[in-house]
Amino acid sequence: MSAGGHCEYDAGDVFAVPLSDGSECLGQVFSYERMPLNSALCGLTLRTPNFFDPRKRFALSELLSVQLTSDGFLTNGRWRILGNQPLPDVQRAFDIGSVREKGFIGSKVVGSAIIESLLNASRGLEYWDDWHDPAYLDGLLVAPDRKPAIVLYKSDLPKQ
């Protein structure tokens, strides 16, 4: 949120998330949420910017994850905004209305850096299970079947 009291991004904005190999994945802002913690509800995909078409909405089947995330990388430009496109039927992937009704009690905001780690791990650039809870990233997926086949597991490394 800027000093003037408004977001520097809008619902529908499509942004590029940089990955550790220099490539990028696309995400979309579904909504700005003042509570909790000036966060953004975002959908994340493995689609790359060269497939961005402002006239076409993301298909729900493309969504890897839908999360309330800290909006620092959106406001500071690390996640560069490419344009705006129609929103998918967000309610089917994340019931933000019921979360708002509950005053966000029990909701969690996932840090922007964790979102980048999720996308890196989904592209095989980081280990999927390299967390205190080895199944942590599984909990960030829209559904278990969204985990890409390419993921690498630290637990598969030879024991030394």
20-55 pLDDT tens trace: 999 999 999 998 888 777 889 999 999 999 988 888
- Cα gap 58→42, rounded to integer Å: 12
- What letter represents residue 43's amino acid? G
Q: Identify the top-confidence range among 32-36, 107-111, 133-137.
A: 133-137
DSSP annotation of 61 reads G
Residue 116 phi/psi, 5° resolution?
-65, -40
Binned at pLDDT 50, 70 and 90, residue 129 comes out as: very high
3-state secondary structure of 137: helix
CA-nearest of 96, 98, 126, 103 to 114 is 126
Q: Are strands 24-33 and 13-18 parallel, antiparallel or unpaired?
A: antiparallel
